[in-house]
Each structure stands twice: as C-alpha cells, then as structure tokens.
Chain A
Amino acid sequence: MPSLPDAAMPDAAALAQRAAAEQAHDPHLADVALKPAFFDWLCRMGDNSLILGHRISEWCGHGPALEEDIAQANTALDLIGQTQMWLGLAAEVEDAGRSADDLAYLRDAMKFRNLKLLELPNGDLAVTLMRQFLFDAFHFELLTALCRSSSPRVAEIAAKALKEVSYHLERSSDLVVRLGDGTEESHARMQAALDKVWPYTGEMFAADGVDEAVAKAGIAPELSELLPLWQRTVAQVLSEATLSQPDRDFAAQKGGKQGRHTEHLGYILAEMQFLQRAYPGASW
C-alpha cells in the first residue's frame, strides 16, 4: 500500500473479547426473570446519553466562543462513549444478536427509553445549558450510587462515566451561575430556559416497574433517594445564580422512559438513522 500506513486494526475484536473474558462474573447477566427490566433500564441509561449527546453535538461549529464549542463537543463525545458502553451491555443482556449500533440505529421512537427532557430542541444556549445542568445534577447522583451496584459490569461503566460527568456538572453549574448572575439579558434568558424545561425534570425521579425491579436486585438505587440530593444541588446553584425555582409542577411531562415521547424525537431519529435505514446491512 502507498505511503499511508494501515489504518485498520484487525485484532481489535480479539482484544475486546479477551478483555471481556477477564471481566468479573456478573450473576445478573444470567438472571432470566430480571432480563426484560434489566435490558429496559440499560436502554434508558444508553438512550439518555445518546439523545443528549446527539443534541449537543448539533452545536459543533456553531458555538458562541471557541472554548465553548470545544467544551460542548467534549461533553457530546463523553456521552456518545457512555452510550457505546450502556447499549453494548444492553445488547449483551438481551442476547438476541443485536449490537449497540443496532439498538441506536434500528429502533423506532416507541422503543426509545430516554427522558423527554433530553430530546427537547437546543433552543438558545440558555436552554441547552440549563437542560444540561438539571440533567448533570441527576446524572452525577445516579452514577455515584451506581458505583456501588450489585452488578459489577454496571459499577464499572458507572465508575468511568462518573469521572466525566463530575466534570460536566462542574462546568454546567459554573455556567448557570455566571450567566444567571451576568447581564440583565443573560439572567432573563437563563430564567426563561429554567421555566421552560422545569416541567420535564420530574420524570428523572418517577419510578415505574422497571426502576423498582432493578432497585430490588441491587443494580440501581431507589430514585426517590436521589431526589433530595438533586434538590439540594439545584437549590444551591440556582440561588447563587440569582434565579428562582419555577412555581410549576416539575413532573408534568413524563412518558419518555416508557417510550411515549415528544414529537421531536422522531426527527432526531430520522436524521440519526438515515444511513442505516437507507442502506441496510452496509458496513461503515
């Protein structure tokens, strides 16, 4: 071959298999009764990072300052990486021959399990950052608890993701404070963003049968345990940002976790899945 060195890594699959064989035994992977809930819950984790990662990747090249453009892309990259791990494990648990890519690119909206909050359009940067902060504050507490999961595989992914999400939370809360307490305009935009996305935040803590099953198995925490921790962070940051907590039901908008989404998700999928749908079976 000419001057470019070989870009392919033929032994990557072998390396991955060897690494997988060395991983700690996870009894939950063979638990047939738990499988549907475990799979569904892993899709929730993976779809959350996929859809939020996708949304913020839309900012790439369009940020208000170079540093911000780079930071957004970094966050999106972290989230896409987490998606590969969560959906990879979901595919393994399902054991039906699907891959993480199959789950991301070949499911329709009703099979997606992400929070509705995360599929909302980016709006101005205020909406993007406020959504990011409210989710990061939840994501951080969830991953912290998942590091103690009874599933070693889940705990390992959580430990890696937590390093990234700690930084996401540090960055988004810092920006919420600075912009909330910045100019009159930045304050007004941040308050409007908060009012807009607030009704979508309660879904993070609304437990259903799936959440209860994984909590009972010791895989994930009770969501109700996370609520006061989230509330404390949110109250502290909003107060420092001179923003007021909206007087609206924070759980008015739900259903994403069960596959009942906003109209926006269909357009995300139409764009994201285009090549896989248009050229079935092709390798990219």
Chain B
Amino acid sequence: MYAQMVKSEGMKSLEEMSPEERAFQERVDRNEKIEPKEWMPEGYRKTLIRQIGQHAHSEIVGQLPEANWITRAPTLERKAILLAKVQDEAGHGLYLYSAAETLGISRDQLTEKLLSGDMKYSSIFNYPTLTWADMGAVGWLVDGAAIMNQVPLQRTSYGPYSRAMIRICKEESFHQRQGYAVMMKMAQGTPEQKEMAQDALNRFWFPALMMFGPSDKDSVHSAQSMAWKIKMNTNDELRQKFVDETVPQAEFLGLTVPDETLRWNEEKGGYDFAEPDWAEFFEVIKGNGPCNEERLGARREAWDNGAWFREGLTAYADKAAARRAASNMAAE
C-alpha cells in the first residue's frame, strides 16, 4: 500500500447531496466506472489526485532501495532480474502519473510537490537495504503488502486508476514471487545466508505492517474514500489478511517472524499479532526515518541534474516544429 494517510473531504449523506452528487454516488454504488471527462465531486478529484500521486511517488522513490543492490547483484541472472524489477516500478510510476494527469494535474506538478515535501510517499521506502537478503525481503514483504491493497483497487471506481492497477498487479505479483525465490535461496543456503535472511525479515516485518496505515479506529479518512470506492478495504482488514498469508510462508522458509506474541486464534480464524510501533511510523512519515533525507535527496538530485537534459529536448522539439512549419510555408 503505497498510499497512506490520504486525506479525503468530509462525508455527506445522500439527502445532503446535490442532485449531481447524488447521481454520481449512485453510479459508484452501481459499480459503474467514472471516466476522466465526466462530472465528479471536487473532493473525489482531489482525494484521487492525492492518492494516485502518492502511489506514483512511492513507485519512483521505491526504485531506490532496490537499485541500491543492482551493481552488487551476485550473479548475472540476479542482476538482470533485479534490473527488470526496478524498471517495472518506474513503469508503474509512469502509468500512475498518467492516470493522475487525467484529473487535471501534470506529472511535473506532482513531481514538484514530492520534492518540496508537499506530497508523501510510502513510509516503507525510508528503510535501508543492508544485505542481499533485503532484495528478497522487499519483494516478498513489501510487494506482498502492496498487492493486498492493489488487488481490490483493480475494482476502484475511477476508470484510469482501475486499469493501471490491473496491469500493475500482474507485475507486482511476479515481483513478490521473485522476492520469495531470493528468500528461498538464502534460507536454504549457507549459515551466513540464512542469517542474512532472518535479519532481513527481522528488520522488514514491522515496517511492512505499517504500510497498511494506522488502525481504522484512528483513521479519519476511510469512510468517505470507501463510499467513493477509492479505498476498498479497511487498513486492519488488509493487515490481518497479510499476516495470515505471510506467516505460513515464513514458516516454510524456516524463518521466525519477529513477534513473540504471534498466535493462531482459532476463533477468529486468523493470527493475533503485535502492532507496529506507531510512534516510529509517524516519525518516518514526518521525515525522520532512517533514509528520508537520502531518498528525497536522490530524487531532487536526479530532477535538478536532469533539468538541462529535459530543457535540451524541449528546445530541439520546438526548433524542429518551427523548421517543419517553415518548410510547409515554403511548399505552399
């Protein structure tokens, strides 16, 4: 879940709505897709821009922790797989920025909001990747947690977002499998490799749980987003589902989930588990996580150092257009 703590506007009952708003809500309730040029409440548009923008930023900033190991990948095959994976994340960013653009905001505007700190990206990418096992843990846990949210979002009410999600989910589920394949190799490898694998799980477990956002009882924005079908499940539902699916996967690897309170609860048909440290989560969101400065710094550097490149291409395109116009004039 690459969109956390997305603020949405206050919620109205059907009676309080204007006729336009009511007709819109009824379309959403009938599971009709809303398309870019159709009427939509301003709050819906703004919330979607925040959510899709934050998701797009997460894909782009999310390239960095994994790109950190491309030049150190241990075999040619692993290097190719990791490169392809990080490239996919850039592609996801591209679809999502394009989806956001249909709502009337440009990619450059969104980028500037990211770089100025106006818009956020997922807290998870502010944690460092310290060993090769982290390439397994990130694919398995981080992409795994993201999919929990993104699979239901394939049915979201906004057409372009829904279609981007369908494509993204195909790639993300492949990423999760490749991450798990790395973990399997490590967990079945030498004692040092197994130690790296366990250490990666220890470090990424709670940050992965944080990806779903704070508990719903503390989440003020969920109800409106759920009514608009731009949020399909509550944070707690998704977190529970993630834990229930992931614990047996960790057991299969022979690794230990770093939670002493973890117990199967027969009655609810799911695990009881410890909450992540929410104080840490809010610190990371505020910009005080282990890698916030590096991550945003790398994005700013890429943007600033690339200015001459983008301007050069624009200038050439303008000149070429002028030349074409001149030669058309001459031909007439």
* Given A5-B177, A8-B181, A284-B132, A64 and B302 contact (CB-CB distance below 8 Å): yes
Asked if B51 CB lies within 8 Å of chain A CBs, one says no
Count A-side interface residues using an 8 Å CB cutoff.
57
Asked if A195 CB lies within 8 Å of chain B CBs, one says no
Instruction: List chain A residues, Cβ under 8 A from B90.
Output: 61, 66, 69-70, 73
Instruction: List chain B residues, Cβ under 8 A from A125.
Output: 305-306, 309
Q: Which of B84, B184, B307, B313 contacts A8 (CB 8 A)?
A: B184
Asked if A17 CB lies within 8 Å of chain B CBs, one says no
Cα A125 to Cα B308 in complex, Å, equals 10
In contact, A70 and B305 (Cβ under 8 angstroms): no
Binary flags per residue of A100-126, CB closer than 8 Å to B gives 1, else 0:
110011000000000000000000110
In contact, B74 and A105 (Cβ under 8 angstroms): yes
A104 nearest in chain B by CB position: B76
* Given A4-B176, A63-B306, A73-B83, A178 and B249 contact (CB-CB distance below 8 Å): no
In contact, A182 and B312 (Cβ under 8 angstroms): yes
Asked if B129 CB lies within 8 Å of chain A CBs, one says no
Q: Which of B181, B249, B303, B305 contacts A124 (CB 8 A)?
A: B305
Asked if B2 CB lies within 8 Å of chain A CBs, one says no
Cα A119 to Cα B306 in complex, Å, equals 22
Instruction: List chain A residues, Cβ under 8 A from B97.
Output: 66
Cα A195 to Cα B190 in complex, Å, equals 49
In contact, A183 and B190 (Cβ under 8 angstroms): no
In contact, B63 and A61 (Cβ under 8 angstroms): yes
A183 nearest in chain B by CB position: B315
Q: Which of A8, A76, A181, A284 contacts B83 (CB 8 A)?
A: A76
Q: Which residues in window 295-332 of B have CB below 8 A to A?
A: 298, 301-303, 305-317, 319
Cα A70 to Cα B84 in complex, Å, equals 9
B66 nearest in chain A by CB position: A61
Binary flags per residue of B144-175, CB closer than 8 Å to A gives 1, else 0:
00000000000000000000000000000000
Q: Which of A54, A66, A182, A284 contacts B93 (CB 8 A)?
A: A66
Instruction: List chain A residues, Cβ under 8 A from B301.
Output: 62
Instruction: List chain B residues, Cβ under 8 A from A124.
Output: 305
Q: Which residues in window 234-257 of B have CB below 8 A to A?
A: 245, 248-249, 251-252
In contact, B312 and A57 (Cβ under 8 angstroms): no
Cα A244 to Cα B45 in complex, Å, equals 51
A69 nearest in chain B by CB position: B90
Asked if B60 CB lies within 8 Å of chain A CBs, one says yes
Asked if A1 CB lies within 8 Å of chain B CBs, one says yes
* Given A179-B312, A183-B308, A272 and B184 contact (CB-CB distance below 8 Å): no
Q: Which of B83, B307, B313 contacts A80 (CB 8 A)?
A: B83
Cα A272 to Cα B308 in complex, Å, equals 31
Binary flags per residue of A257-284, CB closer than 8 Å to B gives 1, else 0:
0000000000000011011100101111
In contact, A61 and B86 (Cβ under 8 angstroms): yes
Asked if B185 CB lies within 8 Å of chain A CBs, one says yes
In contact, B189 and A60 (Cβ under 8 angstroms): no
B178 nearest in chain A by CB position: A7
Binary flags per residue of B121-147, CB closer than 8 Å to A gives 1, else 0:
000000000001000000000000000
Asked if B227 CB lies within 8 Å of chain A CBs, one says no
Asked if A208 CB lies within 8 Å of chain B CBs, one says no
Asked if A253 CB lies within 8 Å of chain B CBs, one says no
Q: Nearest 5 A-B pairs (CB), nearest first?
A: A64-B306, A186-B312, A182-B312, A61-B67, A61-B63
Interface residues of B (CB under 8 A from A): 60, 63-64, 67, 70-80, 83-84, 86-87, 90-91, 93-94, 97, 107, 132, 176-178, 180-181, 184-185, 189-190, 192-193, 245, 248-249, 251-252, 298, 301-303, 305-317, 319
Interface residues of A (CB under 8 A from B): 1-5, 7-8, 50, 54, 57-58, 60-70, 73-74, 76-77, 80-81, 83-84, 87, 100-101, 104-105, 124-125, 177-179, 181-183, 185-187, 189, 271-272, 274-276, 279, 281-284
